[in-house]
Structure 1
């Protein structure tokens, strides 16, 4: 699996990884314990009142304003929305083991993470690029959207993701998923090393589900 980045000049970059053989049908105690530990760590070290001013969160908010033209108080960065939920005392959403692992990694490192079922991806090379007029995106939990000049992760025939906050229902992770593409989304002001460290941490969580990496963590 290869990702080509056509918009790096906008401060867009990713770390990506492939993990194969995940058993996403059952929870294991080690993963449950790690998710609980991460939630406790976040609540101990972060504050809801000052979250928006954290350097990492601020970098994504600035990207929303300056590059995407989105008000981040109305469409929050994905990881900020998760963090706010946890800091309000609500539980981290529970979807399935792999998605829950991704959410735990996202709040721990404060970066957005996309997870994609490789068996559902059509086409070869994926590109981070601007959408083409008339392309349609089918989001998880929403109606199809016709795109016009938005940053996406896509093949020639399929859009997986609107960068860096919304994934497609076409490639979502389900209990039957075995092989996963991990994409950690970065923006200007967030070091590549944080993205790689996040991907490495998520490898470790997926290993609890029987997953094994295929190749090295790569940057694009």
Structure 2
């Protein structure tokens, strides 16, 4: 399975890049207490930080809001997923644990201030394309709503759209039965490749420490 960035993005944001990690032979379960504790403590830290600054002043959120504007998405109407979580935390609506894969994905998103997506690889078909959505491109999201991806960043396989840095689809959601997964890290365009590589290596190591299995990763750029 390969991933490419469509020319529709390259023309607008030539510095755009994403990381992709393939996990094989993993075991998804209830989150260990260590992860639950770290996720809770990190949310409490963010809550206190946001008492003295706005959500939109967080560097990772600020950069992603600007990116959304460039591709034609109103970030005040359709928020990047990590901004949505920050806003929940600001209201002390802390995330509830779901399972180890989703909880760790959310922890990474908060830690690095960028959107993350994780998908059941066995529910994906063919290669993945990241593009700016055309009119009529839609899917059933994790929240049960049908989301239209027109003028929004969207990932598609040969079956159709399945994910975005806004909200992901039910079709490819990771379950307790998932054995193989694909994680997409929506990097900041300003991040250098060397820094991104170190970050993604650290992410894959922590994920396999909790879930077992094997991981290999790559960074996809517009070049």
Aligning the two structures, in what range does the TM-score lie when normalised by the shorter sequence?
A: 0.7 to 0.9
Partner of 2:84: 81
Aligned to 2:12: 10
What TM-score, normalized by structure 1, do the two folds share? 0.83
Aligned counterpart, 1:216: 217
Q: Deviations over 1:55-88 (max 9, x none)?
A: 3211111122232231x23322210111222233
CA gap of 1:208–1:26, structure 2 versus 1, over 3 A, is farther
CA distance in 1, matches of 2:56, 2:206: 28
TM-superposed CA distance for 1:146, in Å, is 5.3
Give the TM-score normalised by structure 2. 0.82
Q: Is the 8 A contact 2:26 2:214 kept in 1?
A: no
Q: Is the CA contact (8 Å cut-off) linking 1:98 and 1:173 kept in structure 2?
A: yes
**Which string of whole-angstrom CA distances, capped at 9 and with x for unpartnered residues, describes residues 7-32 of structure 1?**
23322321111122222123223322
Deviation at 1:216, TM superposition (A): 3.2
Matched ranges for 1:96-107 at <5 A: 96-107=99-110
RMSD of equivalent CA atoms: 2.6
Moved more, 14-23 or 148-157: 148-157
User: Which deviates more from structure 2 when the two are superposed, residues 204-213 or residues 39-48?
Assistant: 39-48
Structure 1 unaligned blocks of 5 or more: none
CA distance in 1, matches of 2:90, 2:134: 38
Q: Secondary structure at the match of 1:175?
A: coil
Change (3 A) 1:207 1:8: same
State yes or no: 1:94 paired with 2:97. Answer: yes
Counterpart-to-counterpart distance in 1, 2:181 and 2:155: 15
| Cα offset, 1:99, TM superposition | 0.3
Confirm whether residue 114 of structure 1 aligns to residue 117 of structure 2. yes
| Residue pairs, 1:154-169, within 5 angstroms | 154-162=156-164, 164-169=165-170
Could you tell me how far 1:46 is from its partner in structure 2?
4.8
Gap change, CA 1:205 and 1:45, over 3 Å in 2 = farther
Q: Where do 1:131-150 residues align within 5 Å?
A: 131-145=133-147, 147-148=149-150, 150=152
1:94 deviates by 1.8
Q: 1:45 to 1:142 in 2, by over 3 A?
A: same
